[in-house]
Amino acid sequence: MQIAWRIWKAALNFVYPSSCMICKASLPDSPGLCDSCWDDIDIWDSGLHEVDFEHEFDQIVILYQFNDCVRSLIHALKYRGKTLPGQILGKALGQRIADLFDPDTAIVPVPLHSAKKRARGYNQSEIIARATGRVSGLQVLTNALKRVRPTPTQTQLGVLERQYNVQGAFHVRRPASIEGRKIFLIDDVITTGATLNACVLALRSAGAQCVSVGAVASPLLGEDDLSQDVEKLGS
């Protein structure tokens, strides 16, 4: 057992050295974030709240305001093959929602198109959702939604163009698993909410009782420079 443990730990340290994923400061036990970088992440003030853009959902949970630290974590998750940031962020989201939803609420991640998922190797929203479910105790329906057609990146698109871009792009695989249920839909970042709106419409058409949505981060509404930074991360 000791040999197997040492081999596993050595492999883990090779993939995720015991250093902060943002500032690279040495950490004593396991990879993650140092206290200083955690302090630099701006926590959103409230749990469930309303948003000011057009949306099909009534409630939203946003974990962090989008800043340099959050950008680094999401970039590593989406473009550097690092799943640990998704697990860390999902755990934090799970802690945030633990007392916000009924126990029968099901977590559903926003899906990637199969071609993009094969290219990336995983769906970053699913990584976040699984960690959220482990901490909150809510059931995770990883395959509830399917992206039925690839959609061009939404970068540089206006609000109406984004809505048209994702219109009809999602459908529910098994409506019986959704009908009558409360759903918590999870994505990594949110700007205009067009993708989440399209997913919510598909879930409601399958009979979902209500759909709340959650994201790891969002720019402060009205801060255009931050919104552009979020958009550069793509889907």
Q: Considering the chain, what is the average pLDDT of its residues?
A: 77
pTM: 0.78
Pick the more confident residue, 54 or 58: 58
**pLDDT reported for residue 157:** 46
**pLDDT reported for residue 28:** 73
Least confident of 51-55, 58-62, 71-75, 148-152: 51-55
Report the 10 Å Cβ neighbour count for 68. 11
* Top-confidence range, 104-108, 161-165, 217-221: 104-108
Mean local confidence (pLDDT), 216-220:
76
Considering the four listed CATH numbers 3.40.50.11890, 3.40.50.2000, 3.30.390.30, 3.40.50.2020, the one that applies to the domain covering 41-232 is 3.40.50.2020
Band of the pLDDT at 63, cuts 50, 70, 90? confident
Residue 68 has pLDDT above 70, yes or no: yes
**pLDDT reported for residue 187:** 93
Q: For the chain, what are the domain ranges?
A: 1-40, 41-232
Percent of residues, the chain, with pLDDT higher than 70 = 70
**pLDDT reported for residue 57:** 72
**pLDDT reported for residue 158:** 46
**pLDDT reported for residue 47:** 53
Q: Is the dihedral of CA 44, 46, 48, 51 positive or negative?
A: negative
Nearest CA-CA partner of 13 in 25, 2, 29: 29
Q: Is the dihedral of CA 202, 208, 211, 217 positive or negative?
A: negative
**pLDDT reported for residue 161:** 44
Band of the pLDDT at 24, cuts 50, 70, 90? confident
Beta strands 60-65 and 210-218, pairing class: parallel
* Top-confidence range, 109-118, 154-163, 175-184: 175-184
Residue 64 has pLDDT above 90, yes or no: no
Least confident of 22-36, 65-79, 81-95, 187-201: 22-36
